[in-house]
Amino acid sequence: MWRVPESVYHIEDLYSVTSSHNLLEVNDLKKHFPIHKGMFKKTVGLVKAVDGVSFSIKEGETLGLVGESGCGKTTVGRMIMGAYRPTAGHIWFQPPNGSPKVDLASIDSAAMKPLRRYIQMVFQDPFASLNPRMTVREILAEPLIVNKILRGSELEDRVRQLIDLVGLRVSHLSRYPHAFSGGQRQRISIARALALYPKLLVADEPTSALDVSVQAQIVNLALEIQNRMGLAYLFISHDLGLVRHFSQRIVLMYVGRIVEYAPADPLFARPRHPYTEALMSNVPTTRRDLQGKKIILKGDPADPMNPPPGCPFHPRCQYAEDLCFLKEPSLVEIEPGHLVACHRAAGLNLTGCDALGCAI
């Protein structure tokens, strides 16, 4: 495993270690995008990209957010970052130093400005997110200068600490982004995200544009940084195996809603939603007798503009019964901390990754 140089850890005294306090609480969050048509831009429909999502992230915890393409993962991340204004709901954030918690969903941009440093984002495509006309030194220094945190020799020291922290060299600071590999560029993105001592990193598919071998390095780096700093992650991915590596708890989304939300161990031992079971069956297995025995989901995910009545998953569900066509299931706690939205959750005995021997 690649290791973060020990020399840099003393800088992170600002971080608290993992605790049971919620850093972020998302309550009934919605984002509905209006669809306009015609000369007068008449609203002809709503894309319910996120439709009533609730979860929390503790200090120092990783929450995995998983689901197929289009289920609303990035939209959730962008609302937390303040890039999208929610249609409804709350995003309670606990600032450091004991200040009262703040609803990011309702504050204006002036009130958001001092809080923005505590929540940073790492994107899927590190090249697109780095300014090609700035050197790495300028990229890392920029947030510290803009926020008036450091200047002069202290600024240079911090920039050097950051580059060291992500396993690159001081000699890299004078280069431009095009002179780096994809993995190195992602390291630079992570260093920039860490510049302002954030409390939460929203990582949106941070490794999916990278080679598999490089993915492992970035995952190790992120874990090392988290262990040392007590940083919390919202780790967004469609790859359940990767999320397992990272996360203490996992949220599964389907067409803008949560279908299952549980601590990682019980979830992988016994999923309670047929969608989770299907995703797990598609994680590569180490068991030869099970290879090729995947649950192939029929058709595409439902259209968030026009979801089917009843359970939105029913057209693809092998366990659907009459009630599923008529009534949408609510998200209920089936075991302590384990929530599921399925009429049949109590009666189904679904197979999880532990029994499948998932290679994760």
Least Å from the CB of residue 240 to Mg ion: 15
The helix (H) or strand (E) run that includes residue 269 is helix 264-269
Asked if 313 interacts with ligand SF4 (CB under 6 A), we say: yes
Cβ-contact 188, 114 below 8 angstroms: no
Asked if 341 interacts with ligand ATP (CB under 6 A), we say: no
Q: Which residues, other chains included, contact 209 with Cβ-Cβ below 8 Å and sequence gap of 6+?
A: 124, 125, 126, 182
Stretch that binds ligand SF4, among 197-205, 261-269, 282-290, 313-321 (CB under 6 A): 313-321
- # residues near ligand SF4 by CB under 6 A: 13
Q: Which of 89, 206, 274, 304 binds ligand ATP (CB under 6 A)?
A: 304
The binding track of 241-280 with respect to ligand ATP, each residue x by CB under 6 A or -, is: ----------------------------------------
Least Å from the CB of residue 139 to ligand ATP: 24
Q: Which of 320, 334, 355, 360 binds ligand SF4 (CB under 6 A)?
A: 320
Q: What is the DSSP letter of 359?
A: -
Distance CA 292, CA 107 (A): 50
Asked if 129 interacts with ligand ATP (CB under 6 A), we say: no
Asked if 74 interacts with Mg ion (CB under 5 A), we say: yes
Asked if 79 interacts with ligand ATP (CB under 6 A), we say: no
Q: Identify the sign of the CA torsion 167, 170, 171, 176.
A: positive
- Among ligand ATP, ligand SF4, Mg ion, none, partner that 311 touches (CB below 5 to 8 angstroms by kind): ligand SF4
In the block, residue with structure tokens 């996120």: 50
DSSP characters for 104-149?
Answer: TTT--HHHHHHHHTTEEEE-S-TTTTS-TTS-HHHHHHHHHHHTT-
Report the residue number, 14 or 346, with the smaller CB distance to ligand SF4: 346
Cβ-contact 302, 308 below 8 angstroms: yes
Q: Identify the sign of the CA torsion 271, 277, 279, 282.
A: positive
The binding site for ligand SF4 (CB under 6 A) comprises 273-274, 311, 313-314, 317, 319-320, 324, 329, 342-344
